[in-house]
A and B are shown apart, each in its own frame.
Chain A
Amino acid sequence: MPVSNLELPKGGFNFDNFHRNKTFEEKGFKAPGTRKTGTTICGCVYKGGLVLGADTRATEGPIVADKNCEKIHYLAPNMYCCGAGTAADCDATTGLISSKLELHRLQTGRPSRVATAMTMLKQMLFRYQGQVGCALVLGGIDVNGPQLYTIAPHGSTDKLPYVTMGSGSLAAMAIFEHRWKKDMELEEAMELVKDAISAGVFNDLGSGSNVDLCVITKEGVDYRRGYDKPNERGRKERSYKLAPGTTSVLTSQFRKFVDVIEGDAMDVS
C-alpha cells in the first residue's frame, strides 16, 4: 500500500524567519512596531443595565496612528466588548469569539450568556500565555441580569460592578471610585462613564480624541459612536488652498476611488 505524502501541519509557532529577521535588524532595517490602543476603556452597571465607554486613539509608539478608531467591539446582540492593548489582537480575538458565539447560539437555540463569552475569551488568552495582548472589558445582559467582566491578557478575570482597563485606567478608576453608586439612573451612569473616559483622554498620553459609549439594556443596545467630541480641531484663520491657476492645468480627468460605505469618513479638515 503506497505511503501517503501528506504531512500533518505541525502545531505551535513558526520561527523560520527568525534568522532572516535578525540579519535584517543587523543590517539596519528595523521591523515596524505594533499598533497599540494606549487606551482608556471602562464599564459600569446601573439600574437598568450597563454602560461601556472607550476613547478613540490608536498609537504606534509616540505617533497617533488613528484618531478615531472603534474600541467597542460587537460580540453578540446582547454583548459588547471594549479592548485595550494590541489593536490587531483585540480585533481578531473579539471577532473570533463573536463567530464562536453565533455558532453556539445556533447549536443551543438560545441567546448567548455573558459567562460563556468570558470563558471562551479567558481560555484562549490563557492558552497563549499572555502573548495575545488583549485587555478586555466585557459587558452584556442575559437571563442572569447585567454582568461586567474584566479579562487580563494572561487570562485572569474579575466580575465587578465597575471596571477600567488600559493605560488610562487609573485616571478613569479615580472618577469611578469617587462617584459610582448602586442603582444609578441612565443619565447619571452615562455622565459618569463619559467623565471617566474623559479623565483618561486628558490625563493619559496614550488616550485621546473622542468618547464612545454603549448602553446595553434588556430592551437592546444603544451604541453611541462619538458621544462626546472634546478634541475637535479648531477652525483655521484662513483657507490655505492655492487659487486655481497657480499651477497651469494641461489636462483633467476625474475618477472617484473611495466610497465611504459604513463608519466615519477620515477627518481631513
Chain B
Amino acid sequence: MEHGNTRLKPGEVDLGTTIMAVKFANGVIIGADSRTTTGSYIANRVTDKLTMVHDRIYCCRSGSAADTQAVADMVHYYLQLYTAQEGERPPVETAANLFRELCYTNKDGLSAGIIVAGWDKYKGPSVYTIPLGGSIHEQPFSIGGSGSTYIYGYCDANFRDDMTKEEAIKFTKNSIALAMSRDGSSGGVIRLAIIDESGVERIFVPGNQLPTFWEG
C-alpha cells in the first residue's frame, strides 16, 4: 500500500491525515483526524474528513482535498440516482465499486486514498479500502493516510473480531490519537461516526480531551 503525498501538485491542499474504519458486531466505526495542510501551513484545523455519500454509507478521505471532494461528490450523485431508480438503499459494495471505478480509470490524475464503510441490509456492516492505484480490498478494519504508518503495530496487536461497540470506539479513538501524536500531517480533533441499521451517530473529541499515552 502506497503512502505519502507522492503525486500532489505544488500548492495543492493536502489531507495529510489519519483515517480509519472498524467493523464490529452490528455496525462500523469510522474515524479521522482534522488537519488539512497547504505545504506547512494548516489551512483547516477542524476539517471533517468523514463524508456522507448516502444515509448509511460514509467515506474517509485522504490525499488531495480537491480530488477526494470531487470524487465523493460524484459518488454521492450516483447513489442518489441509484436510490431514485432502484427504490432502496444501495449496498456498501456498490458505493465502494463506484469509488474504485473513478479512482482506477483516473489513476494518473488523482491523488486519493479512500476508505468506504457503512451498513446495508444484505451484508450488514462492511469496510472497503481503495488505495492510490484504484484497487479495492474488503477488510474487517482498515487504516489509511500518512499517519496510519505509525499505528500498524498497535492496530494489529489490539484488533479483535468480536469487539463490542464501546470497545471498537475506544480502539479507533486510541489508534487515531497515537497516530496524531507522531505524524506532523495529522492533528487537531478526532471525529468519529458510528453507522448501523438505525442511523449515524457522530462523536467529537476536542484536541484537549484526546486519550494520552507516554509523553516522555
Contact = CB atoms under 8 A, between A and B. Distances in A.
B44 A152 contact: no
Given A152-B43, A170-B41, A157 B69 contact: yes
Interface string A125-167: 1100110000000000000000000101111111010000000
A154 B70 CA distance: 10
Contacts of A119: 73
A160 B44 CA distance: 8
A162 B66 CA distance: 20
Interface in A93-128: 119, 122-123, 125-126
Interface in B194-212: none
Given A152-B43, A160-B44, A130 B9 contact: yes
Contacts, number: 47
Interface string B60-82: 00001110011001000000000
Interface of B: 9, 11-13, 36, 38, 41, 43-44, 46-47, 64-66, 69-70, 73, 109
A122 B69 contact: yes
Categorize the interface residue count of chain A: 10 to 19
Contacts of A150: 43-44
Contacts of A152: 12-13, 38, 43, 65-66
A155 B70 contact: yes
Contact of A130 (B12, B41, B43, B44): B12
A152 B68 CA distance: 14
Contacts of A155: 66, 69-70
B11 A130 contact: yes
A80 to B, nearest CB: 21
The 8 lowest CB-CB distance pairs between A and B, nearest first, are A156-B65, A154-B66, A156-B66, A155-B66, A158-B44, A156-B13, A126-B70, A154-B12
Contacts of B12: 130, 152, 154
Interface of A: 119, 122-123, 125-126, 129-130, 150, 152-158, 160, 170
A170 B38 CA distance: 12
Contacts of B64: 154, 156
Contacts of B46: 160
Contacts of B65: 152, 154, 156
B130 to A, nearest CB: 19
Nearest to A161: B46
Given A122-B69, A126-B66, A126-B70, A154 B13 contact: yes
A157 B69 CA distance: 8
A95 to B, nearest CB: 22
Contacts of B47: 158
B80 to A, nearest CB: 14
B11 A156 contact: no
Nearest to B36: A158
Interface centre among A126, A154, A157, A160 (most CB of B within 10 A): A154
B39 to A, nearest CB: 11
A123 B69 CA distance: 10
A153 B41 contact: no
23 contacts: A122-B69, A123-B70, A126-B66, A126-B70, A129-B109, A130-B9, A130-B12, A130-B66, A150-B43, A152-B43, A152-B66, A153-B11, A154-B11, A154-B65, A154-B66, A155-B66, A156-B36, A157-B69, A158-B44, A158-B47, A160-B44, A160-B46, A170-B41
